[in-house]
Every structure is written in C-alpha cells, then in structure tokens.
C-alpha cells in the first residue's frame, strides 16, 4: 500500500513550536522505509501519526490514495511492533500471536493456519505453547513480529523493535526482518536512531532533525551525496572528517593552513561561485590514503582502533585537530609515528559555509 504525506505537521497542546512540520513524502507500495534521527527529532511522533495514535495538526495523510486523518487506528489496515514487545505474559506464544485475530472473530481454523504459517517463517514452532517469560529476548521479539504478521496488514509499522537486544542478536534480527519484509510483500515503516540498521535494512531512509526532513533517499545517496553537514556527520561510522576553510585561487585551504589541496576540475566549477568564501570540506575516513603526493598532509598517530580487517587511526595535526583515517588491518602502524596521508580527490564533499548545504 502506498503511503503519502502532504505538509504533515504536529504541534502538541501547550507547546510553542511544532514537533514536526512540512513533512512531504511518498512511500511506495512494498517499500521498506527507515525513519532515522537523534533522540527528540520527531521520528516516533511521525510513526504514531501514521498509526493514528497521535492526531495530525496540519496536512494530509493518505493510504493508497484514501485520506486517513480522521480514520481510527483499528480501521487503517496497519500492524505495529513496539520496542517493549508488549506481549501478554499470561498467554502462550500461540495465543499472543492469535490474539488480534480472535478479537476480529476470525474462524478457529483460519486463526490456526495463519499462526502456524507465521511460526514457520519465524522459526517459533517449538515455542508455541511456552509463555513469554520462558523464551529469550530474540524469540519474544519474533513473537511480537508474528502477532503483527498474522493480520497481513497493508502497512507494517515498527518502533525501534531491536533496541532491547544485544549486539549479536540485533545483527541476526536485521537480516531476519529484511527477509520477512520480502516474504510479506507489504509496505514497512521502521523507526530507529541506529544508522547501521538504517543503512543495512532500508530501501529508502528519511533522516529527521529538529522536526524537519534533512534528507530522503537511498542508503547509497546518503553515504555518497549527503545533502548537508548534519547528514554528512550523522551517517557513516567512523564519522566523516570535516575541515573548515576557504576556497581561493583554485585551492581549498583549511583555517589553520594544515590542509591545502587543489580539487579536481569538476569540483572547481562547482566552487567558482564560492571564491573567497568559507566552505567546508568533507571526506570519509576510508578515502584518506597512505602516501605523500601533492594533496597530502602530515599527522601523528594518537590512537589506533584495531577491528580485524581494518584499523581506525586517530591522527593529530600540528594544531591538534584530529583526523580519522581507516586503513587495512594488515598495515603496520604504531602510536606516535608521523605519517603522510593524501586525499582521494574523487571523494571530496564540499558544503556552503553559511547554509551548510551541499555544493553540487
């Protein structure tokens, strides 16, 4: 089911400012959208507006072309999975999964068929007659997913469903959720503050900050063409390196003079309108290379994080600014060594010094 938002906004009674405003978005049928952002950015509020749990202050919400603003949650053809699982502790796994169907007065044989189908997909057949207290956190999360699945909703809503799981189980459940989404063939909207979940699971990402859209697009677009400085810093681990400086006479020179490089001709054309003005230069840690060509700098290795196949170097420049550099794990580096590193000129990102928007 296609979900459309037109100038959607939310303002809580007694508050001066809108929590969300100017949300314009189209989520295609069967798409997996991840709503991403820091705490307090409005992502859960937006999900609850889609679900009908929060009222809409302004704008319109459509499901499949039908206006949803005043439609009750039970009539929206949605299913929602919460962070807390929200299982009934006195009911078995089977009865938890069957609960919503029983409330809809479905026939027993239909309920049984749907529960068994969901249990098979989620590998819960051996736990159907256990209570939630007798199974693991990952299994409880799968029960909550199963309870939503059996309804076969038009829109599947998930509010940070993996945040209570340990790191290894989160990784496993990410894969399961993507596989489940493909099997269900439904539109899925997933809220998280975890950029790894967003980048690995989403067809499209919506990044919010301060109640406004910062960028909407594919994970690849977020990583390779961030719309502004906030997006550039928020997406990527380790984070993107950002240098303050000036573009002048065909070169970018950082405020402290430690970075002085000549961009490629294509970047120069974009930067011509910013001659003599403040700009920000961004580059991903993996696009800083060991070497000493013309567009390079010297730095002292302050900290090394060994991650196996890669290592993350925290390198200090003369003015004590820190630069993060990702290198292959088999390269040999030592603390306090001085090394030359060069910029991959194909991987430079420039942002306007006043608006912080991408220069493109």
- Mean pLDDT value across the chain: 92
For residue 23 the two structure tokens come to 């949300």
Instruction: Please tell me the predicted confidence (pLDDT) of residue 350.
Output: 98
pLDDT of residue 292: 81
Q: Which residues of the chain have pLDDT under 70?
A: none
> Residue 260: what pLDDT?
92
Please list the alpha-helical segments (H only) found in 122-225. Answer: 137-149, 167-184, 195-201, 219-224
Closest CA to 261 of 236, 279, 273, 240: 279
Task: Please state which of the four CATH numbers 3.30.565.10, 3.40.50.300, 3.50.50.60, 1.20.1250.20 is assigned to the domain occupying 3-233.
Answer: 3.40.50.300
The whole-number pLDDT of residue 149 equals: 82
Whether the CB-CB separation of 263 and 348 falls below 8 Å is answered with yes
Q: What six digits make up the tokens of 159?
A: 């509010």
Q: What does the pLDDT read at residue 44?
A: 92
Quote the pLDDT of residue 146.
87
Given CA atoms 348, 279, 273, 263 in this order, what sign does their dihedral have? negative
- CATH code reported for the domain at 240-352: 2.40.50.140
Q: Where are the domains of the chain?
A: 3-233, 240-352
Radius of gyration of the chain (CA): 25
Cβ–Cβ < 8 Å for 301, 312: no
Q: How far is CA 56 from CA 7, 50, 154, in A?
A: 11, 9, 20
Segment (H or E) for 45: helix 43-51
Q: Which residues contact 325 (CB under 8 A, 6 or more apart)?
A: 285, 288, 312, 313, 315, 341
């Amino acid at each position: 089911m296609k979900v459309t938002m037109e100038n959607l906004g939310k303002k809580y009674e007694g508050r001066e400012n809108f929590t969300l405003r100017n949300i314009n978005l189209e989520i295609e049928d069967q798409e997996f959208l991840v709503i991403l952002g820091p705490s307090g950015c409005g992502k859960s509020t937006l999900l609850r507006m889609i679900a009908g749990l929060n009222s809409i202050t302004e704008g319109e919400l459509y499901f499949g072309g039908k206006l949803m603003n005043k439609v009750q949650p039970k009539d929206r053809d949605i299913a929602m999975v919460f962070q807390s699982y929200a299982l009934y502790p006195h009911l078995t796994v089977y009865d938890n999964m069957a609960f919503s169907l029983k409330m809809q007065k479905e026939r027993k044989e239909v309920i049984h068929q749907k529960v068994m189908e969901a249990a098979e997909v989620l590998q819960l057949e051996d736990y159907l007659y256990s209570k939630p207290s007798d199974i693991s956190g990952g299994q409880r999360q799968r029960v909550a997913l199963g309870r939503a699945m059996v309804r076969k909703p038009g829109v599947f809503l998930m509010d940070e469903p993996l945040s209570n799981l340990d790191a290894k189980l989160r990784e496993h459940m990410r894969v399961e959720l993507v596989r489940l989404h493909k099997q269900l063939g439904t539109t899925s909207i997933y809220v998280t503050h975890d950029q790894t979940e967003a980048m690995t699971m989403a067809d499209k990402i919506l990044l919010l900050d301060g109640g406004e859209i910062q960028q909407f697009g594919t994970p690849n677009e977020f990583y390779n063409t961030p719309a502004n400085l906030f997006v550039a810093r928020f997406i990527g681990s380790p984070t993107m390196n950002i240098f303050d400086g000036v573009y002048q006479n065909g070169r970018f020179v950082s405020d402290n003079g430690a970075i002085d490089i000549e961009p490629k001709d294509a970047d120069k054309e974009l930067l011509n309108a910013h001659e003599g003005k403040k700009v920000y230069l961004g580059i991903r840690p993996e696009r800083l290379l060991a070497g000493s060509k013309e567009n390079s700098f010297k730095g002292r290795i302050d900290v090394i994080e060994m991650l196996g196949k890669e290592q993350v170097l925290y390198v200090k420049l003369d003015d004590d600014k820190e630069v993060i550099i990702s290198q292959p794990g088999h390269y040999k580096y030592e603390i306090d060594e001085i090394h030359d590193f060069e910029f991959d000129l194909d991987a430079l990102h420039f942002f306007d010094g006043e608006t912080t928007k991408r220069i493109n």
